[in-house]
Homo-oligomer: A and B are copies of this chain.
Amino acid sequence: MERIPILKLGDLLLVTVQVELHDQLALTLQDDLTNMLARTRARGVLIDISGLEIVDSFIGRSLGNIAAVAGIMDATTVLVGMRPAVAITLVELGMSLRGIRTALNVDKGMALLRESVDEPGATPSPS
Contact = CB atoms under 8 A, between A and B. Distances in A.
A107 B18 CA distance: 21
Interface residues of A, number: 19
A110 B91 CA distance: 37
A118 B10 CA distance: 19
B50 A5 contact: yes
A105 interface: yes
Contact of A7 (B4, B5, B50): B50
A107 B14 CA distance: 12
Interface in A39-93: 48, 50-51, 81
A7 B14 CA distance: 11
A106 interface: yes
